[in-house]
Structure 1
Amino acid sequence: MSLDIDHLRSWIGNTETASETVTSDMVQRYGATLDLDLETGNGAIAPLFIHLCVAPPAVPSTEIGPDGHPKRGGFLPPVPLPRRMWAGGALTLHDDIHVGDVVSRHSTISDVTVKQGRSGTLCFVTVQHEISSGTRHVLSERQDIVYRDVDDPAKPAAPKAAGAPAAPAGAHRRPITPTPPLLFRYSALTFNGHRIHYDAPYARDVEGYPGLIVHGPLQATLLALYAEELRGARPAEFSFRSLSTIFDTSDFSLNASEDGEVMRLWTAQDGGPVAMEATAKW
């Protein structure tokens, strides 16, 4: 598909600001979804990645597209490719978010690029978020969003990445069962309407996947929390990149290995290649 890249790049510099109070109830729901025992009283330090629960885009049902996402345009550029997913991101933590704080997110479209991949045209949109908690600047985040076309069943399938071996087990490893309730509750927690995460008939029959897809942000959250648990302190920097897809058809694992002052982390479906790779620094 040919894209009007000049038109799409005119969205660069577009901004959006949203705010919400991090309540005890929000943190309690976060902990219940991820099976974490968290302090929820006012003033308690909120968990990593709680900012993804804060002031998510909320549009009326009439403005939702067939995939469950808000219709194209508005803050994000109107990329005409139908498939949209997180490709990766990076966080720098400056300070903690506390329960009871009003958290504000100032977002800017920083780049729009088009590339040709094995499966066709890819459009990458980079969003920079600056997040404050009360009067404090607490977090800088880059999000990389990728749009791609629907696979054409009339064309031969693109070859798989050559020699994509099964992922190794890390020095530290934790199995995770991606149950439909987990995926649904995480979608609800982050107000993510994308149907591939909770609507199995849609995921199979419309988008052609073998099952529900485990959210990229959920994998990143689990890896960041795992890094914090293993090191006993939350990382100052955390970056991640999605390489392949995890479905709810079998268990997956969190893996971690120390590399000097850096921790390398990754997820993988049982018997599958690395799905998401991440790096944590303190």
Structure 2
Amino acid sequence: MSVYEDWVGRSQTATDVLDPARSNALDVALGGAGALTAGDALPLLDHWLHFWDVKPPAALGTDGHPAKGGFLPPVPLPRRMWAGGRLTFLQPLHLGETVTRTSTITAVTEKVGKSGTLVFVTVRHELDAGGGIAVSEEQDLVYRDPAPGVLPLPVAVPVPDAAWAETVAPDPVLLFRYSALTMNGHRIHYDRPYAMGEEGYPALVVHGPLQAALLIRLAGKALGRPVTGFDFRGQQPAFDGIPLHVCGNVTDQGGEFWTQQGEAKNMIATVRTT
């Protein structure tokens, strides 16, 4: 039995109002017009801009995240990140609505691989604005050993061959803005000395959720049909200062999308429109 078995099944709820200002701020940060108003449909994945879990300084870990323990298990491994997730969009949410999010830990799995010890925590979130579940989501969080050394910085590559492609410049301002809008205090996204000296990265790290947001925005424009499902998984970190290509190809069910900086893909996603 896992030492974290007691955390499986733990649940908590949070309530928030879907603020148009947050979606508009992200839209403008990504080059949009920011013209959303109350009553408009919430852009997909913009629920991540809500349900802030703000902790006082004494309740933060050295990495800027809330200290371990509480709802999530107190995994002692020093590096933690959001590895991927799966979402089903059952009905639209609207800006201005009051939404309740119910979160439940569904699994805690320990593995030992080439990179050391890994602990995966899966959390299910269900969002309801009063008319039944609107968004069902599973998040995979991973805790891991320290990096054995500084990771290499990828070499910029031309735009990959894809049906759709956009290129984003993930500079420190964009990373700071996304951290602020999601109340994400993880220092790898804005504190370069910490990211490089403590966690072994060669630069600031582009948020996984930010990459997912870029992918689903491209999918919405490219496919021309409502997105009903979105599964994504991080393959390797992306860093500031290097062009980030956001790409996609059509499939029978929707599309396959990915981000890419070097020769390998950073994040891959399956988009369903059926």
Kept in 1, the 8 Å contact 2:159–2:165? The answer is no
TM-score by length of 1: 0.90
Distance in 2 between residues matched to 1:236 and 1:44, nearest whole Å: 18
Write the letter of the residue equivalent to 2:108: V
Counterpart of 2:97 in structure 1 is 101
CA deviations over 1:159-194 (Å, ceiling 9, x no partner): xxxxxx999432211111001000000000000000
Counterpart of 2:36 in structure 1 is 40
Matched, 1:236 2:232: no
Q: Structure 1 residue 118: deviation in Å?
A: 1.2
The alignment yields a C-alpha RMSD, in angstroms, of 1.9
Distance in 1 between residues matched to 2:217 and 2:109, nearest whole Å: 31
Runs of 4+ more than 4 Å apart = 165-168
Within a 5 Å distance, the mapping from 1:48-59 to structure 2 comes to 48-59=44-55
Kept in 2, the 8 Å contact 1:166–1:273? The answer is no
Distance in 2 between residues matched to 1:117 and 1:166, nearest whole Å: 32
User: Number of residue pairs matched?
Assistant: 268
Counterpart of 1:272 in structure 2 is 263
Counterpart of 1:216 in structure 2 is 208
Kept in 1, the 8 Å contact 2:166–2:246? The answer is yes
Q: Structure 1 residue 272: deviation in Å?
A: 2.9
Q: Structure 1 residue 277: deviation in Å?
A: 0.5
Kept in 1, the 8 Å contact 2:159–2:245? The answer is no
Counterpart of 1:162 in structure 2 is none
Kept in 2, the 8 Å contact 1:103–1:132? The answer is yes
Within a 5 Å distance, the mapping from 1:73-88 to structure 2 comes to 73-88=69-84
Within a 5 Å distance, the mapping from 1:1-282 to structure 2 comes to 6-152=2-148, 168-269=160-261, 271-282=262-273
Distance in 2 between residues matched to 1:134 and 1:166, nearest whole Å: 47
CA deviations over 1:199-226 (Å, ceiling 9, x no partner): 1111112212110000000001110111
Which consecutive residues of structure 2, in runs of 5 or more, have no partner in the other structure? 152-156
Q: Structure 1 residue 68: deviation in Å?
A: 0.3
Secondary structure at the counterpart of residue 219 of structure 2: helix
Identity, % of aligned positions: 43
Counterpart of 2:154 in structure 1 is none
Of the structure 1 ranges 37-46 and 74-83, higher mean CA displacement relative to structure 2 is found in: 37-46
Of the structure 1 ranges 109-118 and 225-234, higher mean CA displacement relative to structure 2 is found in: 225-234
Secondary structure at the counterpart of residue 57 of structure 1: coil
Secondary structure at the counterpart of residue 25 of structure 2: helix
Write the letter of the residue equivalent to 1:246: A
Counterpart of 1:161 in structure 2 is none
Distance in 2 between residues matched to 1:65 and 1:43, nearest whole Å: 38
Which consecutive residues of structure 1, in runs of 5 or more, have no partner in the other structure? 159-164
Q: Structure 1 residue 38: deviation in Å?
A: 4.2
CA deviations over 1:106-164 (Å, ceiling 9, x no partner): 000000001112110000000000011243421000000000011345xxx99xxxxxx
Kept in 2, the 8 Å contact 1:101–1:134? The answer is no
